[in-house]
Amino acid sequence: MNPKSSPLSRRAFLRGSGVSLALPFMEAMRPLAASAASTAAKPPVRMACLYFPNGVWHPTWFPQKSGRDYEVTPSLEPLQKHRKNLTVFSGLDKKHSHGGDGHYAKTANFLTGLLVKKTTGKDLSVGSMSLDQVAARSTSRFTPLPSLELGIDPVISGIDSIVGYTRLYGSYISWRSPSQPVAREINPQLAFQRLFGVLNAGRSASPADLQRAADRRALLDLVLDDARSLRSSLGRDDQFKLDEYLDSVRELERRIAFFSAADPREWKPSSSPDAANLVAPPGTPDSHQDHVRLMLDLMVLAFQTDSTRVSTFMFANDVSGKNFAGLIPGVNGSHHEFSHHQNKKENSEPYAKINRWHTEQLAYFLDRLAAIPEGDSNLLNNSMIFFGSSLSDGNSHQPDNLPIILAGGGGGTIRGGSHFAAPKGTPLCNLYVSMLERMGAPVDSFGDSTAALAIG
């Protein structure tokens, strides 16, 4: 193949022994003839929605100044490197989350913005399809996977007897319909296999799946011959990009294989909301941070290869009691309990440190995206990374003035670098309308929106 006369398809794959590996965007995918300049391939816009539980400690999160000269607060300090590529929001509200219970209903409608039905689990309803699935409905015809849903904690079932809501509501932010949550993968090995075709999308994992995966050769070994053939036909810049991409896949495989080699443990979903009782399935890192970053790396690869353009990630289920001892100096106790700070320093300080840890993980994700060249820019500029919590403050349990950040350039359509102080009561769904437009899925309204938010 000669890319100079025959541009490489944007949907090109490396293939071998029953598996396929999508390719990143390359210059060889651009029509190079002068007459085709106006129709040159343009990298698509991707969207990731990242959720963290239990709200934030306001004094260390929200800037006092609005606009482009806002001050950097302690919780946002890890993101300073990407300041020009992100917008910090305040004032955004989910009016349909006021009242009801303190947590579950507010998480379930995080990406729908509509009223959640109080139920013990027999008749779930979050009001509508979620933001990510509306976007995926528009982009799915272009990608192998419509969307990618990832998380850390197993799904929690049962009923919270205090509030009378099913705990299932606290385990999902992605909804295919008002009553149908989208299953998410928490095992990095299985997510990797599903993403790159070793397992078919939609199949449930089984012990046999894990054993077959362990017995197989590495994915890159299976497509190596095709990779060598393709490399010989590429220009120098694309050869470098291909090598860099394959190295990143190999490194991710190595990390997943390392963690998967740990002694397997019996695992059953817990019915308790206390994260201390959640036992990870086999193949999952013991380190919480390692687990989180593996999942974020999988999202990067999914976007880099255009395997999907839409993804969601839950750092934890709602009401998470994760103990960050050994991970964050000076923090030893339940995240959920610290969020009920009662304005006491012994609670608010570790609460703020946990907030900062989450923005550190976001910074890691943005670093990875920004490091990948794509077209005339990079993967971060061609993405929208939505990051936030369904509660404003874990002590008050209110859904007004939500802690929301939008990073990335949306394909050059978003001007970052500011603190957007929205008028009190501005619907969060106004931002969703603006995001859907940039995903090629324009809507007149979404959830409780009143207008599109001006983020350009």
Q: Is residue 445 part of a domain?
A: no
Contacts of residue 263, Cβ cutoff 8 Å, sequence gap at least 6: none
| pLDDT given at position 324 | 94
Number of Cβ within a 10 Å radius of residue 391? 28
Q: Is residue 124 part of a domain?
A: yes
Q: Is residue 262 part of a domain?
A: yes
Rounded-to-integer distance, Cα 246 and Cα 281, Å? 28
* Mean pLDDT, residues 15-23: 73
| β-bridge pairing 86-93 and 418-427 | parallel
Q: Can you name the residues that pair with 46 across neighbouring β-strands?
A: 383
pLDDT band at 35, cuts 50/70/90?
Answer: very low
DSSP 229-257: HHHHTS-HHHHHHHHHHHHHHHHHHHHHH
Rounded-to-integer distance, Cα 454 and Cα 456, Å? 6
Q: Residue 84 is encoded by which pair of tokens?
A: 């020009």
Q: Is residue 47 part of a domain?
A: yes
pLDDT band at 217, cuts 50/70/90?
Answer: low
Rounded-to-integer distance, Cα 352 and Cα 107, Å? 20
Choose the weakest-confidence range: 23-37, 77-91, 264-278.
264-278
Rounded-to-integer distance, Cα 243 and Cα 117, Å? 50
Q: Residue 386 is encoded by which pair of tokens?
A: 């939505």
CA proximity to 88, closest of 98, 78, 97 = 78
Contact between residue 26 and residue 239 where contact means Cβ atoms under 8 Å apart: no
DSSP 3-state of 220: helix
| pLDDT given at position 278 | 43
Rounded-to-integer distance, Cα 53 and Cα 324, Å? 14
Q: Is residue 5 part of a domain?
A: no
Contact between residue 175 and residue 129 where contact means Cβ atoms under 8 Å apart: yes
Residue 95 dihedral angles phi and psi, to the nearest 5°: -65, -30
CB burial of residue 255 (10 Å; 0-12, 13-18, 19+): middle
* Mean pLDDT, residues 103-123: 91
pLDDT band at 208, cuts 50/70/90?
Answer: low
pLDDT band at 219, cuts 50/70/90?
Answer: low
CB burial of residue 137 (10 Å; 0-12, 13-18, 19+): middle
| Residue 22 predicted with pLDDT over 90 | no
Residue 167 dihedral angles phi and psi, to the nearest 5°: -75, -15
Beta-strand runs (E) in 227-364: 310-314
Rounded-to-integer distance, Cα 359 and Cα 349, Å? 16
| pLDDT given at position 269 | 31
Q: What is the residue range of 213's domain?
A: 13-33+40-438
Total structural domains within the chain: 1
Q: Is residue 346 part of a domain?
A: yes
| Residue 204 predicted with pLDDT over 80 | no
pTM given for the model: 0.82
Q: Is residue 451 part of a domain?
A: no
Hunting for tokens 């900062």 — which residue is that?
356
Q: Is residue 111 part of a domain?
A: yes
What burial letters (b/e) apply to 340-353, b meaning 16+ CB within 10 Å? Answer: bbeeeeebbbbbbb
Contact between residue 152 and residue 291 where contact means Cβ atoms under 8 Å apart: yes
Task: Please give the helix or strand (H or E) that residue 425 lies within, else none.
Answer: strand 418-427
| pLDDT given at position 233 | 85
Q: Residue 223 corresponds to which amino acid? A: V
Q: Can you name the residues that pair with 47 across neighbouring β-strands?
A: 310, 384
* Mean pLDDT, residues 287-300: 95
Residue 427 dihedral angles phi and psi, to the nearest 5°: -65, 135
